[in-house]
């Protein structure tokens, strides 16, 4: 047996070993290696668990120990023959080679709800005191599932307490040597656990600070990017306005020339000029709509009425294309607090997009319905067309992305911004039977103060 001075010297060496890293995973390995090595606390196996405040549970993080007696003897023989210090073993990483992966996986699977009637591990944390269980199968405090999972015969648990708060627990046993765990072992294990708890808390704080630092850096980069985009948007708006005026003039003069020129060949060329000028004017208007931001002017609106009015605009064109329109409007919708002009623009973009993607003889379905709890209204626009490819599906809401020869790629991004500004969501998916479904979800209360979380484009 070791003297008190030797034990304290070992704890000192272990403390030095734990101070070598702030990486939580490496630290846990150091702690469990120290608990199971002959030059450490010399237990056969050890499991470390940490509390999860969000779920109020104790979760297994790591388990260290040999798979069986043969592997245990081999590992201990190797350790004793080397006569290396604990710190030397940790630096070389060799003890980790003897870790039983199966035992580690079992340890990681442990989940204990922190309530007094949930067994010895929960009590260890809640009461902040150690337990030494000599006969696990017959002890009423030991959870039978835990006992069978780890093959426990006798074991001990100690809490990990840092600054008065229990942050976890360590479970140890001597499954292979059958050496009884004494009260003296528990005292040294408790001292060891107190050191480990402080080291773990420091590692967690360090990890949280690193995460916070990364989040702040990401936020800073987003702010810089946002400022750049704002400056670019201002520049684009000025350039677009400068281009728009001569384009309008070209279109206007082209209309006059068509009326005055009698030559059919010449008229064809002027018609091309007029057509291209109008197309360019449409592109400019789309860009201005995307760049120019205003706040939604919300009011109480019957979404069925707005949707019906938009569909009425397309009835003739749908009939010409031989597209069957089916409407299914729920009569139980509550009025929504939205900007009607913005919602009209969003619906026009979606229906136009659907029509352009459909061939003759297909169907267009538009329905509205409330969600079960009445907190939102859903507008669903679906078709029986070809659907959207996998690559396109991931990009359809990105500005300027388009698969159309004449498209600007701004219709769906504008629609998404409008819906988001009203506190809603828009999602797209392909139907199993062919075609696409766009689902808009708008909250019942909306933006009653007349403002949205995001500025959106004014309806042109």
Between 133-142, 268-277, 321-330, the lowest mean confidence (pLDDT) is in: 268-277
Residue 457 covered by a domain: no
Mark whether 283 and 325 lie in a shared domain. Answer: no
| Structural domain of 435 | 299-443
Residue 252 covered by a domain: yes
**Predicted confidence (pLDDT) at residue 300 exceeds the cutoff of 60:** yes
pLDDT at 242: 67
pLDDT at 426: 93
pLDDT at 135: 93
Mark whether 321 and 437 lie in a shared domain. Answer: yes
Residue 452 covered by a domain: no
Measuring CA to CA, how many Å separate 131 from each of 28, 43, 189, 259? 21, 15, 11, 100
Mark whether 194 and 225 lie in a shared domain. Answer: no
Mark whether 258 and 342 lie in a shared domain. Answer: no
pLDDT at 173: 94
Q: Which of 158, 187, 211 is the last residue of a domain?
A: 211
Mark whether 227 and 111 lie in a shared domain. Answer: no
Q: Which of 291, 317, 342 is the last residue of a domain?
A: 291
CATH classification of the domain holding 226: 1.10.287.130
pLDDT at 88: 63
Mark whether 308 and 286 lie in a shared domain. Answer: no
Mark whether 243 and 190 lie in a shared domain. Answer: no
**Predicted confidence (pLDDT) at residue 447 exceeds the cutoff of 60:** no
Q: How confident is the model at residue 460 (pLDDT cuts 50, 70, 90)?
A: very low
pLDDT at 100: 61
d(CA 186, CA 158): 8
Mark whether 277 and 325 lie in a shared domain. Answer: no
pLDDT at 84: 56
Provide the β-strand partners of residue 112: 58
Domain total of the chain: 3
- Whether 372 and 444 have beta carbons less than 8 Å apart is answered as no
Mark whether 320 and 355 lie in a shared domain. Answer: yes
**Predicted confidence (pLDDT) at residue 134 exceeds the cutoff of 90:** yes
Residue 399 covered by a domain: yes
Residue 185 covered by a domain: yes
| Residue from 166, 197, 205 nearest 58 by CA | 166
Residue 12 covered by a domain: yes
Annotate 201-265 with DSSP letters as a single string.
Answer: HHHHHHHHHHHHHHHHHHHHHHHHHHHHHHHHHHHHHHHHHHHHHHHHHHHHHHHHHHHH---HH
Mark whether 154 and 23 lie in a shared domain. Answer: yes
Q: Which of 225, 257, 291 is the last residue of a domain?
A: 291
User: Once rounded to an integer, what is the mean pLDDT over residues 82-110?
Assistant: 65
pLDDT at 238: 66
Mark whether 417 and 279 lie in a shared domain. Answer: no
pLDDT tens-digit profile of 397-420?
A: 887 777 766 666 777 888 888 898
Which residue intervals of 1-100 are DSSP H helices? 4-18, 24-36, 69-82, 86-92
Mark whether 225 and 88 lie in a shared domain. Answer: no
Residue 448 covered by a domain: no
CATH classification of the domain holding 60: 3.30.450.40
Measuring CA to CA, how many Å separate 40 from each of 34, 226, 320? 5, 55, 85
- Please state the pTM of the whole predicted model: 0.50
pLDDT tens-digit profile of 388-397?
A: 887 788 888 8
| Residue from 30, 62, 31, 23 nearest 210 by CA | 23
- Top-confidence range, 141-145, 210-214, 295-299, 443-447: 141-145
**Predicted confidence (pLDDT) at residue 97 exceeds the cutoff of 80:** no
Residue 453 covered by a domain: no
CATH classification of the domain holding 317: 3.30.565.10
Q: Read off the tokens for 336.
A: 């929504």
User: Once rounded to an integer, what is the mean pLDDT over residues 421-434?
Assistant: 89
């Amino acid at each position: 047996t070791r003297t008190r001075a030797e034990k304290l010297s070992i704890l000192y060496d272990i403390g030095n070993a734990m101070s070598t890293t702030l990486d939580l995973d490496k630290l846990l390995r150091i702690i469990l290696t120290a608990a199971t090595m002959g030059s450490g606390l010399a237990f056969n196996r050890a499991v470390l668990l940490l509390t999860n405040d969000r779920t109020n549970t104790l979760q297994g993080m790591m388990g260290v120990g040999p798979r069986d007696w043969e592997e245990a003897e081999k590992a201990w023989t190797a350790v004793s023959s080397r006569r290396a210090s604990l710190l030397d073993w940790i630096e070389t990483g060799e003890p980790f080679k003897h870790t039983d992966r199966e035992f580690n996986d079992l340890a990681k699977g442990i989940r204990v709800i922190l309530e007094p009637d949930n067994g010895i591990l929960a009590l260890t944390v809640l009461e902040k005191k150690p337990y030494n269980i000599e006969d696990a199968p017959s002890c009423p405090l030991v959870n039978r599932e835990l006992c069978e999972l780890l093959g426990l015969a006798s074991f001990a648990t100690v809490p990990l307490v840092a600054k008065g708060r229990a942050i976890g627990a360590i479970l140890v046993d001597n499954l292979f040597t059958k050496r009884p765990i004494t009260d003296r072992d528990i005292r040294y294990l408790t001292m060891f656990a107190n050191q480990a708890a402080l080291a773990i808390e420091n590692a967690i704080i360090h990890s949280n600070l690193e995460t916070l630092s990364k989040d702040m850096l990401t936020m800073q980069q987003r702010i810089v990017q946002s400022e750049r985009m704002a400056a670019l948007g201002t520049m684009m708006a000025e350039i677009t306005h400068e281009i728009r005026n001569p384009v309008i003039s070209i279109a206007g003069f082209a209309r006059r020339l068509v009326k005055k020129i009698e030559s059919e060949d010449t008229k064809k060329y002027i018609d091309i000029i007029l057509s291209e000028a109008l197309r360019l004017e449409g592109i400019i208007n789309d860009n201005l709509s995307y760049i120019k931001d205003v706040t939604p002017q919300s009011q109480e609106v019957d979404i069925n009425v707005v949707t019906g009015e938009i569909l009425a605009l397309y009835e003739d064109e749908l009939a010409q294309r031989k597209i069957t329109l089916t409407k299914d409007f729920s009569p139980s919708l509550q009025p929504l607090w939205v900007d009607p002009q913005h919602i009209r623009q969003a619906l026009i973009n979606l229906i136009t997009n659907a029509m352009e993607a459909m061939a003759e003889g297909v169907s267009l379905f538009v329905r509205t319905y409330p969600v079960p709890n009445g907190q939102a209204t859903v507008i669903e626009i679906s078709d029986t067309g070809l659907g959207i490819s996998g690559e396109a599906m991931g990009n359809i809401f990105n500005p300027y992305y388009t698969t159309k020869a004449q498209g600007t790629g701004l219709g769906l991004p504008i629609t998404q911004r409008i819906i988001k500004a009203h506190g809603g969501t828009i999602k797209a998916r392909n139907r199993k039977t062919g075609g696409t479904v766009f689902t808009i979800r708008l909250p019942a209360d909306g933006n009653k103060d007349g403002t949205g979380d995001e500025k959106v484009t004014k309806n042109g």
